[in-house]
Structure 1
Amino acid sequence: MPESGSEPWVMASMSELLSFARAMEQEAVDGYVALAARMRAEGRPDLTAVFERLIAEEKGHLGKVNQWLGDQAPEPVSLAEPLFDDEGAGVVASELLTSYRAFSMAVRNEERAFVFWTYAAAHAPSDEIRQAAERLAREELGHVATLRRERRRAFHEMRRGESSSVRGDLPVLERRLSDLLGSHPASAPGEPSGRLPGLANEALERAAALSEDPPGETPLLDHVPENVPGRLVPLCEFLLDCYLDLAERESTEAARERMQTFASDMIRCLYAAREL
């Protein structure tokens, strides 16, 4: 994520916003193309196929942005710093890479893009730009859901039968998240003093809301890895998976939007947890 001091998410026009979106998607395509080429050269057809799927996904995103641009020529833009991060996959020994790690990297890149567009919406100078940024954020949330499903599949293929688990309860897990946030020192450089307590309170509010009005069922709660509730980032990851899964299973639009809102909240919490 670019440094907030430079405010790269302040878009002066629709053309600039869409040009930024195009540059971000092209950056992701280029990154995955490079990784696919490396895996092909090193004789890893399994990972070549994974990165080719990610290329196709990102090209689909890029095509949507180009449709929105229409006949407008994209403005030349320069990202303050790359938003796409291969997390060392371009240099680490290919033997250490797995499909799970590849999809984990893709998930985190989509989450960064989601955070970027939520900031862009919050700082938008007009309703038109705010609505467009919110639309892009919703698109990224959909990409996050798709890639997290792929990551879960890769994880279960890798760890089938290896890990023990327990039955989970969303309000209990949210209260546990609040405890972990409340007990964690705000030690990250520049960490706002009220951010973690604020996130802890939000977790308690979600717990109360879920207790009062329980959502539908998600099979993810049938098997919660035993080490997840005691660790901040894994717990955020797990709760995000639950809300995204529930958003797809709910039968009414209001219930789906509620779960999507909780998922959006959890991405913000996860982003803060990773910075600690």
Structure 2
Amino acid sequence: MRSKSLLTNEPKAAVGTMAELYAIAFEQAVTAARRYGKFAVIESTDTLEPVRFIFEALERDALQCAHEISLSCVAELSKLPDVTQLNWAPTDLIPAEELLELACSSLMTPYLVWALAVRHRERGFVFWTYIAAHAERSAVRAAAEDMAREALNGANELRRERRLAWRSERHVHGEQLADGNSDIPLAALLESLLQKDIIEWARALPLVVRRHLLAATGNDVDAPTPGSAQASGTIDARRRAIRRAEQLSSIYLDEADHAGDQDQLELTQKLAARAITRLAYMRTISATLAE
């Protein structure tokens, strides 16, 4: 699926402090401004002038984001974001090769630039949702959730620009067709199968870990589970569960990206956030057991 690669942006480690969180957010915003700015100065032609204006707007937005992050950091920590607080290189939300590939294409249009910018915001939403899911401190979790919401709101605004560009390029029917191909019925089936796999996976886990897994995936922690399972069966169930959780996260992200109205957009975004958080918990539990 189109958004499968978005799920590879899981952070390398949990964020432990607000200083580290602000450093990550600031570094990503500055990097975004630099990447967009490089293409805001492309040689202007009648064809590329609208594209250059879009990159200029994206650069301004990224610089404004960096400024707001700095203000928030000063207000809370009485200092500017400090990249020396980084314990690992922040996930690159706007890979240079993506922009270069688009710039080298003879098909570069306003629609494609807006579409790529939407993808970048979606990638930010996934990244900060992961940060929130892994955070041990409530302040870090709350701040990461706020940043995920901001990325989501930014994606929504850019979708409107993308839609206008699509219409101006006289390709209305393509997006309408995409909206009609819903995977929600498949998601309902996968949710049912996922719950069965989680229950089977939980059977062989120690009580504390089992309760953690069930709680993290929305199951009743006090519900009785069947007797012990064979190790091979448990491993298969774990792998199936994680694979289904990945599929569901991708489906909900795709559905949100092609939502036909505001109600559908809000619903699928909530489903995507829940699914990504669930996937993060499942991956963490699986990795812990493998150690």
Which interval holds the TM-score relative to the shorter structure? 0.5 to 0.7
8 Å CA contact 2:29–2:65 kept in 1: the answer is yes
In the alignment, does 2:138 pair up with 1:108? no
Letter in 2 for 1:262: L
In the alignment, does 2:75 pair up with 1:75? no
8 Å CA contact 2:124–2:151 kept in 1: the answer is yes
- Which residue of 1 is the match for residue 226 of structure 2? none
The superposition leaves residues 145-175 of structure 1 with CA deviations (integer Å, 9 ceiling, x where unpaired) of 11111112212222346659579789x7511
Query: Larger radius of gyration, structure 1 or 2?
Result: 2
**Shift of residue 108, structure 1, vs aligned partner:** 1.2
- Which residue of 1 is the match for residue 99 of structure 2? 89
8 Å CA contact 1:107–1:144 kept in 2: the answer is yes
**Shift of residue 88, structure 1, vs aligned partner:** 3.7
Change (3 A) 1:68 1:34: same
For 2:263, which of 218, 228, 246 is the aligned residue? 246
SS of structure 2 residue aligned to 1:37: coil
8 Å CA contact 1:243–1:262 kept in 2: the answer is no
- Which residue of 2 is the match for residue 118 of structure 1? 129
Change (3 A) 1:14 1:167: closer
Change (3 A) 1:43 1:247: closer
TM (norm. structure 2) is 0.61
**Shift of residue 32, structure 1, vs aligned partner:** 0.3
- Which residue of 1 is the match for residue 66 of structure 2? 62
Moved more, 74-83 or 100-109: 74-83
Structure in which a larger fraction of residues adopt helix: 2
Moved more, 161-170 or 88-97: 161-170
Structure 2 unmatched runs, 5+? 1-5, 193-237, 279-291
Structure 1 unmatched runs, 5+? 183-190, 204-231, 249-255, 270-276
The superposition leaves residues 212-267 of structure 1 with CA deviations (integer Å, 9 ceiling, x where unpaired) of xxxxxxxxxxxxxxxxxxxx87x95354342773278xxxxxxx6x5641353588
**Shift of residue 132, structure 1, vs aligned partner:** 0.7
SS of structure 1 residue aligned to 2:16: coil
For 1:166 and 1:113, how far apart are their aligned partners in 2? Answer: 27
**Shift of residue 20, structure 1, vs aligned partner:** 0.5
8 Å CA contact 1:89–1:97 kept in 2: the answer is no
- Which residue of 1 is the match for residue 240 of structure 2? 193
Q: Which has the higher contact order (CA 8 A, sep 6+)?
A: 2
Letter in 1 for 2:49: P
Change (3 A) 1:244 1:168: closer
For 2:92 and 2:188, how far apart are their aligned partners in 1? Answer: 32
In the alignment, does 2:142 pair up with 1:137? no
TM (norm. structure 1) is 0.64
Change (3 A) 1:58 1:266: farther
For 1:68 and 1:164, how far apart are their aligned partners in 2? Answer: 38
8 Å CA contact 2:179–2:258 kept in 1: the answer is no
For 1:53, which of 54, 57, 63 is the aligned residue? 57
Letter in 2 for 1:240: D
For 2:257 and 2:111, how far apart are their aligned partners in 1? Answer: 17
8 Å CA contact 2:54–2:110 kept in 1: the answer is yes
For 2:70 and 2:111, how far apart are their aligned partners in 1? Answer: 30
For 1:99 and 1:21, how far apart are their aligned partners in 2? Answer: 27
Number of matched pairs: 221
